Structure 1
Amino acid sequence: MKAEQDGDRLEDDSQQENGASTNHYSSISPPASPMVLDEPFSTYFEERVPIPENTNQMFSFRKLWAFTGPGFLMSIAYLDPGNIESDLQSGAKAGFKLLWVLLGATIIGLLLQRLAARLGVVTGMHLAEVCNRQYPTVPRIILWLMVELAIIGSDMQEVIGCAIAFNLLSAGKIPLWAGVLITITDTFVFLFLDKYGLRKLEAFFGVLITIMAISFGYEYVLVKPDQGELLKGMFLPYCANCGPAQLQQAVGIVGAVIMPHNIYLHSALVKSREVDRRKKEDVKEANKYFFIESTIALFISFLINVFVVAVFAQAFYDKTNMEVNAECNATGSAHTDLFPLNNETLQVDIYKGGVVLGCFFGPAALYIWAIGILAAGQSSTMTGTYSGQFVMEGFLNLKWSRFARVLLTRSIAITPTLLVAIFQDVQHLTGMNDFLNVLQSMQLPFALIPILTFTSLTSLMNDFANGL
């Protein structure tokens, strides 16, 4: 118990002394006399998960289970409605040809998430807190604004995705703006689930990921994609006969997969585990298990993304509006007017994607698709709000109440989303999502430069600094 208290004091000391050298708070060896502070250290969450005592085994499933959670919450950002829309458009516009971009982006994302987790474990601070201590005021404010812009763009896609899912599930009876208001309300409710225990919150996210896997896996089995073409597209970097639309889609895939605010989020989530940072072996062990957990989580998210790309690549690549219109007419769909009688290539988004699945594969395909989108939207809006709170608290050093922080971060992102929902039709949101995915790509340097810089500093990371 005394060791835990000393560790807490050391981490508090690192958070309080803004002007001090960074070396002491990332030190692995204990200080001679840690400062005793009035306030105990706490993460954003109100509890920390204990790690089982050391065993002589090289690998322990009990320890992996104790470290499991942060990586799956992080992986939600790889499964948000913006990702799903990017996936389905990639399949519809380029077939299987851009799967290698998705694979490459996921691998790069894993490496960056590993750096984020390592920074949080070694220093006891998340990326926004380190930026606060390392950067002067002007670049720090610019960084904060850029990350907030990325969060707003992502949140717009997530909330609109939920609203579209409500619209599809209610057969159009719930308009877009009403779906946004429902999402805002239930997100507030779900955000306070961690009051019942951090592990219960993480289990809830696990359930939502499972719903997504079952929903999109069902569509994959239903459509039966060509496995040879799928493997060729995944492992052979090519894009024959690709034009500007496919190039924009490739850039959008990178922005949809590697989200800048997710790097800030992951570096904060790992602080929810009890790791004695004064012991090098404990820090090394935590880094190892967090990396294993992140790899498993991102592999699952990659499979779910592949399900969506493959479904639309197999069923709707090179389809024309005329063909889809005829199929929807034949099945008595109420959404035939979405597809004009011309030979232009089919343009799909989350909404139209559900409709065409319903036309070609029956109403069950539409409703299961909507359930998957709803799970993706609900989970990602919650993790997006956590990101906003970590970023705002870290960069601005806010000491507000929990409810005030949630209200402010929600309001910043929700206001533009509500305006879009009121003034834009549910059937015409494709252009906005394309733009927001490319915007995410443009925001990446504002997370990449800090995380690469800080994890390479020996003064900050000691023996855990990046090698060449």
Structure 2
Amino acid sequence: MHKATVTQTAKNRRQMPSHLSTWQILKYPEISSIKTNGNEKSQEGTRELERLVVFFGSVSLLLAKRPSFLAKTISTSNPPWTLPHPNMPPENNQVPLLSDEDSDQDVAYESGEKVHIVGINEQDEERSLGVPPFSWKKLWLFIGPGFLMSIAFLDPGNLEGDLQAGAIAGYSLLWLLMWATAIGLLVQLLAARLGVATGRHLAELCREEYPTWARMVLWVMAEVALIGADIQEVIGSAIAIKILSNGVLPLWAGVVITACDCFIFLFLENYGVRKLEAFFAVLIATMAVSFAWMFGETKPSGTELLLGVLVPKLSSKTIKQAVGVVGCIIMPHNVFLHSALVQSREIDHSKKGRVQEALNYYSIESTVALIISFIINLFVTTVFAKAFYGTELASSIGLVNAGQYLEEKYGGGYFPILYIWAIGLLAAGQSSTITGTYAGQFIMGGFLNLRLKKWLRAVITRSCAIIPTIIVALVFDTSEAALDVLNEWLNVLQSIQIPFALIPLLYLVSKEQIMGTFKIGPVLKTVSWLVAALVIVINGYLLLDFFSSEVSGVMFTSIVSAFTGAYLAFIIYLVSQGFTLSAWRRLLPFKQTQGIE
């Protein structure tokens, strides 16, 4: 390819930040245009060669891109899209903040909704090239997305896993709870890294990276996982409402109340993202106080608690509970959610130091949030370990009857433990239901590129989940055992969906064409894939154990076998597709021109 000579005239010189990725250059070819010396004919020849390179590069990516994109790529006029990628520098090398008021692209947050971060208490900002010094004020402004993400670690499904692990295994699985939370932290930090470095969230990038049929399958899987999680969360809230109303309000009434107040709480976002985050902080504090009060009331053994956290111990009798502890930590919709939530802060993507600064603050915030979630989960596990471990009730306890068993064990008192449990459960159910609806908006908007008002997307997302939830509440209102069986099936549903969030995430964050210099290194990449494989194998064990005990009959077995074959084939496709796309891109001769900074 002809190498153009860069004009040294400062006025006309066009610079590109070194952290730009090949993916952005391929997708937006106009950023690689440079002013050349020589006559008009030479300049035109250079432009034609650049168009040919982009044309053949686009042909190799047709499996993952729409045909209409090809026409945009080779167009000689100004680009028809109005929403540039946040890492694409315009003429003056200053990247505009994401703004979609006039675009046909869906984004997580409008520019006016974002929390302003850039330039706080900093002098000579334009000359700042490295990572700015640590600032407590900046850290405070970055706090929020990580705590919303942490709510998925405290939803009713996780609380049920905690109480069952405590009742059946005692203190012996606390070490596994700690390491499972660490695994969850790793996955969520990767999701945040993807959102911050690219300015796009996981659903948007899946829409652009995978062919239509594959991304539609991914979207359906994400929606199914979200609906399953939502049923558990809403039912958890409904159980709490039933307890607090002394049984006056049945489950279905609690479901309707939860569905309605979810919209009311989401309305807080109209007054600013920080208001909604403050509301979630109140709910998390409510859970912490409620379960800490229960911890103090039941007085678990401190020595056994420390031994349970520090000394790994696993019995064949507690394998199922151990698998459940690990399996319920990673929620597919939470990966999509966190990659979008981090875009609620204003970040100057033209400066590598600013992007790294955001990643540092988000890492601190997410770590603190998940430490708090671990402590809350530890409270719940140890309370039920103290109360029911080694008793006849241990194997029969579940989310529905947990409050009743606690009341029978510890009585009423000045403030009955039954109501303390219900308040904590209500806070967990309400907060996770709202974040689930929030995640549904990002998933639907990202995969389908829907340019709808947020309230309309919330209505659509809420409707998809509330109808099956009401049916569940009506059918299982009087049958606690049947509701526990349903929860087991919903846990299986969540486990099935995990690879369809993990594999695309790991593929995207490890590719330089997408992440630029913020791609994960070989060590972190290896660790991440090993962790993902471990989680998938553990959940596979759970699925195998569940289906071997539940599936019977030739027809049902045949259906499950066919589904399993298609399921494994799609997982293999996702892994191989990532390597295929990467190999094609490495063959492209499109590199940053020498002499451009």
1:269-308 matched pairs, under 5 angstroms: 269-308=341-380
Residue of structure 2 equivalent to 1:71: 146
Residue of structure 2 equivalent to 1:208: 283
Residue of structure 1 equivalent to 2:267: 192
Structure 1 residues 61 and 377: CA distance shift in structure 2, 3 A: same
The code of the aligned residue for 2:308 comes to G
Residue of structure 2 equivalent to 1:47: 113
SS of equivalent residue, structure 2 residue 328: helix
1:170 Cα deviation from its structure 2 partner: 1.0
Q: Deviations over 1:321-366 (max 9, x none)?
A: 4xxxxxxxxxxxxxxxxxxxxxxx5411122111111112233100
Structure 1 residues 223 and 358: CA distance shift in structure 2, 3 A: same
Residue of structure 1 equivalent to 2:400: 351
Residue of structure 1 equivalent to 2:319: 247
Separation (CA, whole Å) in 1 of partners of 2:337 and 2:366: 13
Residue of structure 2 equivalent to 1:383: 435
* 1:255–1:439 contact (8 Å) kept in structure 2: no
Residue of structure 2 equivalent to 1:406: 458
Q: Deviations over 1:153-189 (max 9, x none)?
A: 1101100000000111111111011110111111111
Residue of structure 2 equivalent to 1:105: 180
1:415 Cα deviation from its structure 2 partner: 1.5
The one of 444, 450, 458 aligned to 2:504: 450
The code of the aligned residue for 2:475 comes to F
The one of 235, 238, 254 aligned to 1:163: 238
Separation (CA, whole Å) in 2 of partners of 1:236 and 1:111: 22
SS of equivalent residue, structure 2 residue 396: coil
Structure with more relative contact order (C-alpha pairs < 8 Å, separation 6 or more): 1
Q: Deviations over 1:28-59 (max 9, x none)?
A: 76666779987279643651111124379732
Structure 1 residues 149 and 255: CA distance shift in structure 2, 3 A: farther
1:433 Cα deviation from its structure 2 partner: 1.8
Identity of aligned residues (%): 53
Separation (CA, whole Å) in 2 of partners of 1:465 and 1:26: 16
Structure 1 residues 192 and 217: CA distance shift in structure 2, 3 A: same
1:90 Cα deviation from its structure 2 partner: 0.8
* 2:132–2:353 contact (8 Å) kept in structure 1: no
CA RMSD of aligned residues (A): 2.5
Separation (CA, whole Å) in 1 of partners of 2:100 and 2:256: 43
Q: Deviations over 1:193-237 (max 9, x none)?
A: 111221111100000000000000001111111122222222322
2:312 pairs with 1:237: yes
Unmatched tracts of structure 1, length 5 or more: 1-9, 322-344
* 2:108–2:201 contact (8 Å) kept in structure 1: no
* 1:132–1:394 contact (8 Å) kept in structure 2: yes
2:445 pairs with 1:393: yes
The code of the aligned residue for 1:50 comes to H
Separation (CA, whole Å) in 1 of partners of 2:142 and 2:231: 31
* 2:250–2:477 contact (8 Å) kept in structure 1: no
Separation (CA, whole Å) in 2 of partners of 1:49 and 1:257: 29
TM-score w.r.t. length of structure 1: 0.86
Residue of structure 2 equivalent to 1:335: none
The one of 337, 350, 355 aligned to 1:265: 337
Structure 1 residues 99 and 402: CA distance shift in structure 2, 3 A: same
1:147 Cα deviation from its structure 2 partner: 1.1
Aligned residues: 429
Q: Deviations over 1:119-143 (max 9, x none)?
A: 1111110000000111101111111
Unmatched tracts of structure 2, length 5 or more: 1-19, 29-64, 74-83, 124-130, 523-597
Structure 1 residues 53 and 120: CA distance shift in structure 2, 3 A: farther
Separation (CA, whole Å) in 2 of partners of 1:38 and 1:225: 55
1:311 Cα deviation from its structure 2 partner: 0.4
TM-score w.r.t. length of structure 2: 0.68
Q: Deviations over 1:81-104 (max 9, x none)?
A: 111111001111111122222112
* 2:142–2:345 contact (8 Å) kept in structure 1: yes
Residue of structure 2 equivalent to 1:417: 469
1:410 Cα deviation from its structure 2 partner: 0.6
